[in-house]
Structure 1
Amino acid sequence: MADNPLPDGRDEPGVRIPPPLIFTSFLLAGLWFDSPWFTGEMTAAWQMGAGGIWAGLWLGLIIVCFLDHLASGTNVEPWRPTTKVIQSGPYAWSRNPIYLGMAGFCEGIALMGASWGALIAVIPAMLVIHFHIIKKEERYLAAKFGDEYLDYKARVRPWL
């Protein structure tokens, strides 16, 4: 495949904003909107526990994906070159397990903070991720890896 798949010769998808920053921005805006945390109050123990477990499970997925990237010798950061299409582990059932994990993590924090605003904010965060990050990544991967990526894309769903 092409060594420099983008027209300007760069070997990266052109992502400029780190995805965790996008999720964090929407999460904080949602928490600010209606979480008792911003008035100095605590939330119920069950909310803290359930939200913590939910967030922890999704954080575990993110860590597994990060370790898969390390083991495969490819970059996890979407602004750096991808050297391999990972098709095993969580990537065997989702093309975007890290973003899925980030969304689930935010849901857990929203539950911990008793915040409908933060829970709802996951939706626009995912839309920004989809249209401004994933679309760039998919164009880049198709240009760089060709049929290997296109076959993977046809076989594996973007989310679950």
Structure 2
Amino acid sequence: MARPAEPPLLPPPLLYLLFITLALFLADWLPLPIPANGWTQALAVLLIVVGQGLSFWAMWRFRKQHTTNSNFNQPRQLLRDGPFAVSRNPINLGDTCGYCAIALLLGSLWPWLLLAPLLYLMNRNVIHPDEVQLQSLFGDTYRDYCRKVRRWL
């Protein structure tokens, strides 16, 4: 049974929540405001709709194909259609869109400064172990998929 070498300490949604919470504390401690206006609010709404739509579409595909969407379980099959034809990690991409939407609505530079470390942790602690597991489970089929579809977008 091929499982990730080290399951993530936190599920991805909690990792995103942790970083937004940290950004809120930092913004309160040392404000670094950025302009917020109607355009940034409209963009935030668009990011929420697109991001959550992508995430729900991917979760629906997992459920429809009777495989897991959890980083803690072994998938039964490799999904390569629907949102998985656009991104190998559509749920994480959707969560990132949501994070960016919240960052726009907060009107603070802190969430943007924390985005790079957040994505680094996502790649290192969540996505890479998943990729190792999927490669060991699906071999050449997964490697071919990786050549055709980007990790994020």
Q: Give the unaligned 5+ runs of structure 2.
A: none
Counterparts of 1:29 and 1:65, CA distance in 2: 28
Compared CA separation, residues 44 and 95, structure 1 to 2 (3 A): closer
The 5 Å alignment of 1:145-160 reads 145-160=138-153
Q: Give the unaligned 5+ runs of structure 1.
A: 6-11
- C-alpha contact (below 8 Å) 2:55/2:90 kept by paired residues: yes
Match of 1:73 among 54, 60, 66: 66
Alpha-carbon deviation of 1:68? 0.9
TM-score by length of 2: 0.85
Alpha-carbon deviation of 1:44? 6.0
Equivalent residue for 1:132? Answer: 125
- C-alpha contact (below 8 Å) 2:36/2:104 kept by paired residues: no
The 5 Å alignment of 1:36-115 reads 46=38, 47-115=40-108
SS in 1 for 2:7: coil
SS in 1 for 2:75: coil
- After superposition, the CA RMSD in angstroms is 2.0
- Per-residue CA deviation, residues 129-151 of structure 1 (Å, 9 max, x unaligned), is 10111110111111111111111
SS in 2 for 1:78: coil
TM-score by length of 1: 0.82
SS in 2 for 1:75: coil
What percentage of aligned pairs have identical amino acids? 27
Alignment length (residue pairs): 145
Q: Residue 7 of structure 2 aligns to which amino acid in structure 1?
A: V
Match of 1:15 among 1, 7, 23: 7
- C-alpha contact (below 8 Å) 1:49/1:112 kept by paired residues: no
Which 4+ stretches in 1 moved above 4 angstroms?
A: none
